[in-house]
Structure 1
């Protein structure tokens, strides 16, 4: 078997292709064209490639930033980059700026103001893409070069389906977590959230205006899978070997609408930690859930989850205790503050208001 040190080689940039399965690419892009010119344009628009062109064009290519590549099965003597797509794009454009059809003016400035045009790039050649996955997982999920959440989830989903084929969901997630230095719970949530996202994507994002894979906040789903009532509502169990076996498609659709459909520019729920906490409370109460479905605001629905009778009693008792404490101090007060009379009138007014409401409800003739 060839030793790893023998796999280091400098390869001409023209012999290396960009990876059409790069996790940084949005799903909609990966489903479409895989033409390298399209990949280059995307890298220019989305991955700060012009700035990297300046750095390489001024300083040359640093040998320590090796590309990780595999052989191209479709073309002998050629390679596909698995790690380093942005660096490869920068080198290609420094040598062939005409490859780009976007940001032409910016690229012209780079060409005009730089001199370095590296052609032979340091590469580590691997036999299989899977050999690179552990490194990518550590570098881009738990390491310093962190991907966006959807990119992380896409990568983990690829690992899940290409590795550990003879193992069940829980075991696979535990092994993946060990490989990348993460927790099993986090891996289970990421992979499960990504599978749910793909179902939503397959439904055309339920035709919600403006929603696509670039606007979808996967963190809403990932964080929601830590909430008991939300998980139960959509029928997901990340502690099962078949986490989506009882997925409730109707409730999932309703949840996505709550998060992403906007009325007057505002969705019904923001999927941040505060919003998810409120939603979890609502979904744990049938009364609150139905009220929210019927149009109640999220805050009004949350109020319905509380034991209002108990809260009311506690507030009255606390108020009484404070008045009693004040009463005990009365004979010691030397200078009553100027607004005392107004405050006492307000206390009496509120007490009468509560009493009158009680009388209306109970039709009582009790003395007060």
Structure 2
């Protein structure tokens, strides 16, 4: 549905923050005071406070709201800006946290007496606009907020008549993001919700939004990880975008995985680097012995060795060495005829040293594996 472009003016007190704002991630805001504190803590209101004091409230981009039965307007787009205005008008709203808005410049006060608002009939009428802006647009949310919004949007997405698209494909077109990325994010979010409800996630980390959600939606790309969670090794599908996607008989495995990715009472997360540790974990999960070792000891390096990661790494080094050696050999013919003798001597020394190392490695291999 096309969103209305009629702009009205409302006093800030008539506008309410959206307690379903995806910025809250897995945290539930019990009311507007808590929502204001969450946004002040997580959403960098300081840059907005400074902007408002310097230039006044920027009116070129209205807030978007719908009317609630009690006569209040719930802002579904522009919550950060509304929070910035409300807390500058009444700094006591942030009592209890160590963040204080700057005094509102008297010369600017008139610019926030009323705020520009586009009123829509219902929340869903603004979904496409919000999705464009915050998924791939000029003010993108973090991965967890995107996934939360995507799950909500998926629930209301209807397949376009006359097409063979799935709901995910339809949603992909609406959001302008790839089908696979949206699917992974939404399934991961439902898994995340299930883990939180089961008490598997550190509440403090959930509250301050410091969990790296990308660890989860990346690891479930691995067939071994999906099998470990009881989802089978088959590719993800939209049927998994549901409450409690992990079977009850695999909740222990879910608890282990959450601990390895995000930490738990049993210790810190084993994943330190997305680029190097995540592939190791996927390989560990493909090995029953290595997985059991990680479950029992949380010794990530030992489990990786048992999964053959050290062997794979060594073989990759051999492949790289062979490629480099070929390049070096082919490159000799292209060297300049007047190459300095010192450089020739240095190259000979390095090549001789490399040759000795290769011969030694071959000898050790022959001895260990006759």
Q: TM-score, normalised on structure 1?
A: 0.74
1:194 is aligned to: 189
* Residues in 2 aligned to 1:199 and 1:165: alpha-carbon distance in whole angstroms: 27
Question: Residues 280-336 of structure 1, C-alpha deviation per residue, up to 9 Å, x if partnerless?
Answer: 222223343344445384344334444969x89x97xx99xx9xxxxxxxxxxx9x9
Tell me what 1:172 maps to: 167
For residue 13 of structure 2, give the secondary structure of its aligned residue in structure 1: helix
Q: Which stretch of the first structure deviates more once superposed, 287-296 or 180-189?
A: 287-296
SS in 2 for 1:17: strand
Question: What is residue 116 of structure 1 aligned with on the other side?
Answer: 108
Deviation for aligned residue 1:345: 12
Q: Which of 31, 40, 44 is 1:44 aligned to?
A: 40
Query: What is the CA-CA distance between 1:116 and the residue it aligns to?
Result: 0.7
| Matched residue, 1:13 | 12
Query: In structure 2, what is the equivalent of residue 240 of structure 1?
Result: 237
- Give me the whole-angstrom Cα distance separating, in 2, the residues matched to 1:350 and 1:2: 70
2: CA distance between counterparts of 1:4 and 1:350?
74
Structure 1 residues 244-253 or 83-92, which shifts more? 244-253
Change (3 A) 1:349 1:11: closer
Does residue 183 in structure 1 map to residue 178 in structure 2?
yes
Give runs of aligned pairs for residues 196-215 of structure 1, distance below 5 A.
196-205=191-200, 211-212=205-206, 214-215=209-210
1:230-284, CA deviations, whole angstroms, 9 ceiling, x for partnerless residues?
A: 1222123554343237573222122112223369974333361321211222222
Per-residue CA distance 1:6-59 (angstroms, 9 max, x = gap): x321122221111111111243333xx21x223223322222223312322332
Counterparts of 1:275 and 1:265 in 2: how far apart (Å)?
16
Please report how far the alpha carbon of residue 135 of structure 1 lies from its aligned counterpart in structure 2 after TM superposition: 1.1
Match of 2:94 in 1: 100
* Secondary structure class of the residue paired with 1:179: helix
Q: 1:242 to 1:125 in 2, by over 3 A?
A: same
Distance (Å, rounded) in 2 between the aligned partners of 1:346 and 1:172:
56
Residue 24 of structure 1 corresponds to 23
Measure the CA separation in 2 of the matches of 1:238 and 1:345.
44
8 Å CA contact retained: 1:23, 1:154: yes
User: Please, which runs of 5 or more residues in structure 2 have no aligned partner?
Assistant: 326-344
Q: Which residue of 1 aligns with 2:297?
A: 295
The gaps in structure 1 that reach 5 residues or longer are 323-333, 360-368
Q: How much does 1:103 deviate?
A: 6.4
SS in 1 for 2:76: strand
Q: Distance in 1 between matches of 2:227 and 2:3?
A: 51
Structure 2 Cα separation of the partners of residues 16 and 71 of structure 1: 9
CA contact (8 A) 2:168 2:183 kept: yes
Higher mean C-alpha deviation, range 235-244 or range 221-230: 235-244
1:210-221 alignment, distance < 5 Å: 211-212=205-206, 214-221=209-216
Kept after mapping to 2: 8 A contact 1:259/1:271: no
| Cα deviation, residue 155, structure 1 | 0.8
* Contact 1:11 1:121 (8 Å CA) reproduced: yes
Once residues 262 and 289 of structure 2 are traced to their aligned partners in structure 1, the CA distance between those partners, rounded to angstroms, is 24
Give per-residue Cα distances to partners, 1:112-147, cap 9 Å, x unaligned: x55211212111110111011111111111112111
CA contact (8 A) 2:3 2:125 kept: no
Whether the 8 Å CA contact 1:188–1:238 is kept in 2: the answer is no
Flag the 1:283–1:303 CA change in 2: closer, same or farther, 3 A: same
Count of aligned residue pairs for this structure pair = 329
